[in-house]
Chains A and B, each alone.
Chain A
Amino acid sequence: MKEEYIMARSRWRILAIMVVAFALLAAACSSSDDTTDTTAAAAGTDTTVASGTDTSGEVLKVAFVHVGPVADKGWSWAHDQGAQALKAEYGDGVEITTLESIPEGSDAQRVFEDLAANGNTLIFGTSFGYMDPMLAAAENFPDTVFMHATGFKTSENMGNYFGAAEEARYLSGMAAGAATETNLIGYVAAFPIPEVLRGINAFTLGAREVNPDAEVQVVWTSTWFDPPKEGTAAESLIDAGADVIAMHQDSAAPGQAAEAAGAGWVGYNTDMTEFAPTAWLTAATWDWAPFYITTAQQVLDGTWKSEAVYGNMADGMVVLAPFGDSVAQDTQDLILVRESEIIDGAFVVFTDPIVNQDGESQPLGDIFGMDFFVEGVIGSPTG
């Protein structure tokens, strides 16, 4: 009796394990149906799904690794738009693998190496923390081209790329400076790294060009993408007296907090007007499509060489988003004049020497290692 019972039990067990395994598989393999084949990475689970059929010509296998979900409608989404443009450009000539929500850190090296071992010849990693893992992977796969966004290291087969967001940040700061009545602008910021500090400083310089009394209060969230957290940070800034919210975050939550409180909002990454139509002023946004297409072409032609690419407003990698209705016409005109000066090189955002947070003049130094706040910023540049 007892043995039979135990056997019956173990059959149930096997069935149960199969059900769980199926559930895991389904979670890992859910993919969207359109142009890019996207793997819905559940908490970092990664599975690749091949796209298109192998036509007669050479198919370039390209992989993208993102730190957040491409559906963030922010940073990763902007990169994914670039990937989709790449797919649209080459059709069956490229096969794109997209991995989402891959944590930064040493485990990312395994992800990059898996992708390289699976025959991807061009691999993009779109977050700062992938730098060292990618460098290590690049060493182990010398025939694969690695491209790292926002970092500062290159090797024989690893290039890096980024853009002068500070140019558009400056312009968006002008919009914020003109909009604020309390002269306090809140800035929800992710991590105290040079990229973010550049953005805050450029934004503040722009705000103070049109409004010398404006100050920018920074709070750090220690996250790139966490909507409730970012929204809460924005609310705390509004409660501290800020009537315009700017951000270096990937979600639209700060904008929704601003909208609810009747404050203004300067977004980031993409045009996010629809999240907060009244609050929206403008934003620094990214257009990665031309760069991704060019890079893929270079790899196809065999002309790719390792370099550090720094795009800007002139080459179209950095774009100022459309203005919201609340931006006054004369402010818009002022900003557009500055924009054209930035594009033709007549105006430079950071000049040497520069006045720091303590009101002292100091040498500008290397802007890619920026570690200080300019005059007018309230908060700590070390987090």
Chain B
Amino acid sequence: MNESLLMLTVMAAIGLGTPLIFATVGEILTERSGILNLGVQGMMLIGAVAGFWATFTTGNLFLGVVIAIFAGAALSSIHAFLSITLRVSQIVSGLALAIFGTGLASFLGRAGGNPLVGNPSRAVFEPVFTGSITEIPLIGPLLFGQDLLVYLSWAIAAGASYYLFHTRMGLSLRAVGEDPASAESAGVNVSRIRYTHVLIGGALAGLGGAYFSLALTPTWQDDPIGAAGWIAIALVILSSWRPGRAVFAAYLFGAAERVQFTLQTLGEPWSDIPSTLLAMLPFVLAIIAMIVLTSGKRARYLGAPEALAIPYFREQR
């Protein structure tokens, strides 16, 4: 693989990884509060369709992103209500949300007199910088050849990391995810923290969905995000509930997604590898990385919130 091909692969990995960063960081914040939300696929799809609709109607990309964020958060509020207030099984509620969101997104995409289906987006996210600055070798395209949402994904991952580990609110959040009863006795409002972070998770998933319909494949067709929502849930574990690592996990996955096709174009001996094996590559990488991460002493640092997926009953003794 020569240098320019490597560069192209990295650029593609960033593009494919960006929606995964949003969704993964969102799910990390949700899970850090002790709530498991398996509905990421549904929330991303709702974000994708809502964002596409808003941009398609108004021609305004910014509005599309905002609407996508609200749509994702709105859908996640169902899960928040079910799992925090009603304390139902989070697995069941999350799966229901994924299925519901998928169906609702297809429905919305073809509802009304002017269905969205089969239309390209009216506006598309383009690289922010143009001109000579993007021609600097290596860092030119990497740092200056990206669209606005890529920079936003870096900012969100960095911000979430700071928030989690260096702020008092982040400490409260982690406490709620580890031991809600103790957190509560220390004066933390468990329900409020959990609600907030399920909504933040939904908002970021919605934003991730919009990256597909407004940047990556700027169009509306049913199921336009592949399995990104499910992959994001796996990436949470892969990044061991740390937003900083989520960036690398997402890019690793994006690169693997791309390399399977690049290898097919490289000729012998690469093209002899069966394409079906290559299609497994991202998932094989994820499994290997998880084995490495969870083996031996490292498992202690993995960091799954202790109270994850366990409903909290206030004053239960």
Contacts and interface: CB of A to CB of B under 8 A. Distances in A.
Nearest to A19: B82
B294 to A, nearest CB: 28
Contact of A30 (B88, B104, B228, B266): B104
State which size class the interface on A falls in: 35 or more
B245 interface: no
Given A228-B16, A235-B12, A379 B271 contact: yes
A24 B100 contact: yes
A139 to B, nearest CB: 31
B117 interface: yes
A2 B272 CA distance: 67
B265 A71 contact: no
A232 B12 contact: yes
A31 B274 CA distance: 40
A69 interface: yes
Nearest to B111: A32
B16 A232 contact: yes
A32 B110 contact: yes
A71 B221 contact: yes
A28 interface: yes
A72 interface: yes
Contacts of A233: 261
Contacts of B257: 228-229, 232
Interface string A211-229: 0000001111110011111
Contacts of B118: 71, 73, 77, 274
Nearest to A242: B265
B239 interface: no
B226 interface: yes
Contact of A237 (B117, B265, B274): B265
Chain B residues touching A, majority SS: helix
B221 A15 contact: no
Contacts of A239: 5, 8, 262, 265
B135 interface: no
A362 to B, nearest CB: 21
Most buried by B among A17, A27, A41, A235: A27
A227 B224 contact: yes
A380 B103 CA distance: 37
Contact of A231 (B5, B115, B217, B275): B217
B193 interface: no
Interface in A174-207: 192
B106 interface: yes
B271 A101 contact: no
B107 A40 contact: yes
Interface string B53-80: 0000000000000000000000000100
A256 B120 contact: yes
Interface residues of B, number: 56
Contacts of A276: 120
A200 to B, nearest CB: 14
Nearest to B93: A20
Given A23-B96, A42-B106, A228-B212, A237 B221 contact: no
A73 B221 CA distance: 7
A379 B264 contact: yes
B99 A43 contact: yes
A40 B117 contact: no
A228 B228 contact: yes
Given A217-B265, A232-B258, A239-B8, A274 B222 contact: no
Nearest to A17: B88
Contacts of A231: 216-217
A77 B106 CA distance: 14
A127 interface: no
A225 B223 CA distance: 9
A228 B225 CA distance: 6
Contacts of B104: 26-27, 30
A252 B221 contact: yes
B123 interface: no
A253 B102 contact: no
Contact of A69 (B5, B86, B223, B226): B223
B258 A236 contact: yes
Contacts of A33: 111
Given A32-B111, A40-B107, A227 B86 contact: no
B272 A20 contact: no
Contacts of A119: none
Interface string A367-380: 00000000000111
A340 interface: no
Given A42-B99, A42-B100, A20 B88 contact: yes
A326 interface: no
B78 A23 contact: yes
B286 to A, nearest CB: 16
A187 to B, nearest CB: 11
A251 interface: yes
A28 B257 CA distance: 31
B219 interface: yes
A240 interface: yes
A70 B212 CA distance: 20
A232 to B, nearest CB: 5
The 3 A-B residue pairs with the shortest CB-CB distance, nearest first, are A69-B222, A42-B103, A27-B103
Given A69-B221, A70-B222, A235-B12, 18 more contacts: A9-B87, A16-B86, A19-B82, A23-B96, A30-B107, A71-B106, A71-B109, A72-B221, A72-B222, A226-B226, A227-B224, A227-B225, A228-B16, A231-B217, A253-B217, A274-B118, A275-B120, A383-B275
Interface of B: 5, 8, 12, 16, 78, 82, 86-88, 92-93, 96-104, 106-107, 109-111, 115, 117-120, 212, 216-219, 221-226, 228, 257-258, 261-262, 264-267, 271-272, 274-276, 279
23 contacts: A16-B93, A23-B96, A30-B106, A32-B110, A38-B110, A42-B99, A42-B100, A42-B103, A45-B103, A68-B222, A71-B222, A101-B222, A219-B264, A220-B264, A226-B226, A227-B225, A227-B226, A229-B257, A232-B12, A235-B261, A239-B265, A253-B219, A378-B267
